[in-house]
Amino acid sequence: AQTVTQSQPEMSVQEAETVTLSCTYDTSENNYYLFWYKQPPSRQMILVIRQEAYKQQNATENRFSVNFQKAAKSFSLKISDSQLGDTAMYFCAFMKPPTQGAQKLVFGQGTRLTINP
Amino acid sequence: DGGITQSPKYLFRKEGQNVTLSCEQNLNHDAMYWYRQDPGQGLRLIYYSQIVNDFQKGDIAEGYSVSREKKESFPLTVTSAQKNPTAFYLCASSIGARVYNEQFFGPGTRLTVL
């Protein structure tokens, strides 16, 4: 079974700083997807960024980028120029490629990120 | 607007009672999912359905039941057999094809057992 571990329960940075959230995972699969989800105080889950394991290039979405180290099974999220609206719980998640239509996500425990003014 | 709705937002139940959480989507998605979220833990999969009239157990299905009679609806029943039902419940859906498609989440239902 796959497991996802986020070792930082809480983090806090000043606005405009850069912050990196860590995630490690365990799998015997060679092809899979990795995700970072954001859950603000409203508790709505929002997809931040996605990485396909077969792609060597790290994914980027505006101020959000990842450092994907497949051999080390590490998948960290970097938030540049952090904003107050980035304050949220961040979840790392793993998924095997869907074979029959359903996509089962396995989530880490989450990191509570606070951006201070 | 297309999306996923969950009702009610807050739900209170007495011990020993069954309760049903509603999840409706108008995205025309084939696949739907139920997750449970506890403090200090990530989401855990309860049940999922790939198509109407079909569903499978997830990682923590004990004490829960589901039905999928319509494509747009996937209600979750929390039975009295669920030992610790107080949690935040999230419903999600995806296109359901054999290639990756984004999974969209509803706003959630907070269930409290009194």
Strand partners, A19: A79
Contact B15, B81 (CB under 8 A): no
Q: Is the pLDDT of residue A99 over 80?
A: no
Supply the pLDDT for residue B39.
86
Instruction: Determine the pLDDT at residue B100.
Output: 80
Q: How far is B114 from chain A (nearest CA, A)?
A: 22
For the stretch B44-77, pLDDT in tens is 999 999 889 999 999 999 999 999 999 999 999 9
User: Which two three-digit tokens encode residue A16?
Assistant: 């405009």
Name the residue in chain B with its Cα closest to that of A1: B59
Condensed to tens digits (0 to 9), the pLDDT of residues A1-29 reads: 789 999 999 999 999 999 999 999 999 98
Tell me the average confidence (pLDDT) per consecutive run of 10 residues in chain B, 114 residues long.
88 92 95 93 93 93 97 96 93 83 92 92
Q: What percent of chain A has pLDDT over 70?
A: 97
Q: Would you call A45 and B50 a contact, using CB atoms and an 8 Å cutoff? A: no
Residue B69: Cβ-neighbour burial (10 angstroms; 0-12, 13-18, 19+)? exposed
Among candidate residues A61, A73, A103, the one with its CA nearest the CA of residue A5: A73
* A52 interaction partners in chain B (CB closer than 8 Å): 100
Question: Would you give the DSSP letter of residue B73?
Answer: B
For chain B, give the mean pLDDT. 92
